[in-house]
Amino acid sequence: DAGVTQSPTHLIKTRGQQVTLRCSPKSGHDTVSWYQQALGQGPQFIFQYYEEEERQRGNFPDRFSGHQFPNYSSELNVNALLLGDSALYLCASRTTGGKETQYFGPGTRLLVL
């Protein structure tokens, strides 16, 4: 049973570019959340997707957008990259309505130069 998977593992971009990160949830999970973790800090919630819609959003600008597909996989898009967007981007999944934990993927490390 595959856990949460993310791609790519590492990415280097320059300021002003756009990036797309991908996530496949754990088998049986239908809810995907995205987090940004800057170096030395705890993860910060970006947004959550369920039934192909954004259900909740954290305090991130509109440059951050996402999508969920019918197979529950998800994408995170960041436009007009800034140096401060350099971070580890984590995807987490769970089954909606359950009390279980959220399972995190291995993350995508983004470096913006």
Q: Is-cis flag, bond preceding 25, omega within 30?
A: no
Residue 66 burial by Cβ neighbours in a 10 Å radius (0-12, 13-18, 19+): buried
Nearer to other proteins, 75 or 88 (CB): 88
Whole-angstrom distance, CA of residue 38 vs CA of residue 40: 6
Interaction residues for other proteins, span 64-103 (CB under 8 A): 90, 92, 94, 96, 99-103
Within 47-66, which residues bind other proteins (CB under 8 A)?
Answer: 48, 55-56, 58
Nearer to other proteins, 4 or 18 (CB): 4
Does 20 contact other proteins by CB under 8 A? no
Short-list 38, 35, 39, CA closest to 60: 35
* 14 lines the binding site for other proteins (CB under 8 A): no
Q: Taking the mean position of all CA atoms in its chain, how far away is CA 1?
A: 21
| Contacting residues toward other proteins, per CB under 8 A | 31, 33, 35, 41-45, 48, 55-56, 58, 90, 92, 94, 96, 99-107
